[in-house]
Structure 1
Amino acid sequence: MEGTILVGPEGKALDYQLRDPDALPEEVRRYLEYQIPRWEFEPPTLDGQPVALHNRMSLHLKAVPHADGGMRLQLHGTSFLPTQVPADYDLTPDRLALPAYPSVPWSPVTYQVGATVYVVLKVGRDGKVLDLLDEQVNLHFVPEPGTAAMWRKHFARGTLRTARGWTFHPPTKGEAAAESHWSVRVPVQYTAVDEEVRYGQWHAYVPGPRRAVPWLPAEEQRAPLEGMAASHAHPVGQGGGLKLRPPPEGG
């Protein structure tokens, strides 16, 4: 689910809006209405100065079994993209043509399944892709036994082929402008032709194994990827977006 959030210089949420809240299940809406005002962020800054920062936010919730036999909601992933920071401070996409749904000649369920490929790219100072990797591939269906790896490889192959041709505008201001290269993640989502995608509703998915990215530091590979909004470029480690602090122990 998606929305916007305004965070003040002290790292507290000043205001937020959920996209189409009436479309969300009641238990999800109540959960977020309780949790979001209690979030704490690293105090946002611009050029070293504290600022209030308005971000687009994307959230991924999981329903996990509870000891009482019911289900418990869990915030599994978040992402935040600034709406007010000048583009010159971040790596931004120039040409981000998304791949078409791949043909599956060896399968009787062609065009009947979905997936999300999380691509991480290393971008050079000329804005072109130096290296890339399918960091994780999640399936939006339950594959037949023994076929999951084949499906993930199939979706990843076409995604990487297209992503090699993407180009970006490097940052020209701020600390990031002096880097020799930058990293960015782009989730590419494939939707089955006959699948009705309803915003805010529960969907089953089968997460794939997460691959290590050789050029990224370990701390940039710990947070779950599922919270990132699909088809958007998410700069890695540039400090332009909000950073949600983990809840205190026992919280």
Structure 2
Amino acid sequence: MRKWMAMGLLLFSAVAQAGGVGAMRKQVELSMLVKGEISVDATGAVADVSIDKPDQLPPGVLAFVQAQVPTWTFEPVKVDGVGVTVRNRMRMLAVARKDDAGGYELRLQAVSFHPLKKEEGTEVAADKMMPPRYPEGLARAGASGSVFLLLKIGRDGTVLEAFAEQVNLRTLATENAMKKMRDAFGQSAVTAARRWTFVPPTQGALASAEYWSLRTTVDYFLALDGFKYGQWSAYVPGPRQTADWVDKELVRESPETLAGGETQLLAGQGLRLLTPLNGEGS
């Protein structure tokens, strides 16, 4: 496990040393996205779990996930008042953070669940999503990061509101400098998002909604940078905020399981996990 974590920190540490920063290093975390499928029975208990490409994951991470997931309980899914077995796609963000003893504490930071199949015309679909320009000053400084966006989509498919929910950085600097980086990345992503267009649902329960709320991610990568399945990514998590138009219950889970360019409709779809992650309150 320590070897894999050291590899994940290698590129990040070079940038950190160039910034001459000490205090902010304590906030550095390592993350890894783990994907799979999960079946939940009529009582809300886990019936089956499969992990994507288990041979590409560090053995310690795979063992940790395989021990955690079967203990979860979910809100039972009912059809016409009768509990049914449901299978969903599953994403988990495993996070490691250095502890005071010099080791690493591993936890599941975020999970998300999505139906395996989506009926055509029942969800908001992407139409035009031109990526934003990389902020010139941040590119020259070698800064990179990810912006998690909340979008309010109107009935004509235009973006009525765009909001930077969280900005994670893969660059270390002073606290003030990192705030400016987050603001610049967030503003760049929000500006681009306001020009995006979507195709509203034409059938199903959501078709008559006044507006729709989406989550999406914009990743700012430099050359040779990027996410690879089964490898650690070092970053400093930014503070999380929310927009006033979104139902707080729909955004209670972290957005960090989203990959760049993907969209997630916030409409209470997918399984609802009742077990708190890592023993924390929900």
Q: Say whether the fold is shared (TM-score over 0.5).
A: yes
Shorter-chain TM range is 0.7 to 0.9
The aligned counterpart of 2:136 is 104
Structure 1 residue 8: deviation in Å?
A: 3.5
TM-score norm. by structure 2 comes to 0.76
Distance (Å, rounded) in 2 between the aligned partners of 1:40 and 1:185: 25
Amino acid aligned to 1:54: R
Runs of at least 5 residues in structure 2 that lack an aligned partner in the other structure = 1-32
Task: Write the deviation string for residues 184-229 of structure 1: whole angstroms up to 9, x where unpaired.
Answer: 1101122221326432222221111222311123333432222233
The reply on whether 1:5 has 2:46 as its aligned counterpart is no
168-177 vs 126-135, greater mean Cα deviation: 168-177
* Count of aligned pairs: 247
The reply on whether 1:239 has 2:268 as its aligned counterpart is yes
The aligned counterpart of 2:87 is 54
Structure 1 residue 239: deviation in Å?
A: 2.4
Task: Write the deviation string for residues 10-39 of structure 1: whole angstroms up to 9, x where unpaired.
Answer: 333333332221221111100111112222
Kept after mapping to 2: 8 A contact 1:78/1:228: no
The aligned counterpart of 2:53 is 20
RMSD: 2.8
| Secondary structure of 1:179's aligned partner | coil
The aligned counterpart of 2:177 is 147
The change in CA–CA distance for 1:96 and 1:15 in structure 2 (over 3 A counts) is farther
Structure 1 residue 230: deviation in Å?
A: 2.8
The reply on whether 1:212 has 2:230 as its aligned counterpart is no
Kept after mapping to 1: 8 A contact 2:44/2:75: yes
Distance (Å, rounded) in 1 between the aligned partners of 2:57 and 2:147: 25
Amino acid aligned to 1:179: A
User: Identity over aligned residues, as a percent?
Assistant: 34
Distance (Å, rounded) in 2 between the aligned partners of 1:97 and 1:45: 40
Kept after mapping to 2: 8 A contact 1:85/1:240: no
76-85 vs 164-173, greater mean Cα deviation: 164-173
Amino acid aligned to 2:136: V
Amino acid aligned to 1:38: T
Amino acid aligned to 1:12: A
Task: Write the deviation string for residues 19-70 of structure 1: whole angstroms up to 9, x where unpaired.
Answer: 2212211111001111122222222357877544333222112224557763
Amino acid aligned to 1:104: E
Superposed, which structure 2 residues align to 1:156-171 within 5 Å? 156-171=186-201
The reply on whether 1:182 has 2:215 as its aligned counterpart is no
| Secondary structure of 1:55's aligned partner | strand
The aligned counterpart of 1:30 is 63
15-24 vs 26-35, greater mean Cα deviation: 15-24
| Secondary structure of 2:214's aligned partner | strand
| Secondary structure of 2:156's aligned partner | coil
The change in CA–CA distance for 1:46 and 1:217 in structure 2 (over 3 A counts) is same
Task: Write the deviation string for residues 68-94 of structure 1: whole angstroms up to 9, x where unpaired.
Answer: 763332111112222213143332323
The aligned counterpart of 1:132 is 162
Amino acid aligned to 2:114: L
The aligned counterpart of 2:4 is none
The change in CA–CA distance for 1:99 and 1:11 in structure 2 (over 3 A counts) is farther
The change in CA–CA distance for 1:131 and 1:60 in structure 2 (over 3 A counts) is same
Distance (Å, rounded) in 2 between the aligned partners of 1:103 and 1:40: 44
Kept after mapping to 1: 8 A contact 2:108/2:277: no
Distance (Å, rounded) in 2 between the aligned partners of 1:65 and 1:21: 24
Amino acid aligned to 1:225: P
Kept after mapping to 1: 8 A contact 2:135/2:188: no
The change in CA–CA distance for 1:178 and 1:199 in structure 2 (over 3 A counts) is same
Counterpart among 192, 215, 219 of residue 222 in structure 2:
192
Structure 1 residue 143: deviation in Å?
A: 2.5
| Secondary structure of 2:241's aligned partner | coil
Distance (Å, rounded) in 1 between the aligned partners of 2:243 and 2:185: 19
Higher helix share: 2
Counterpart among 74, 79, 84 of residue 117 in structure 2:
84
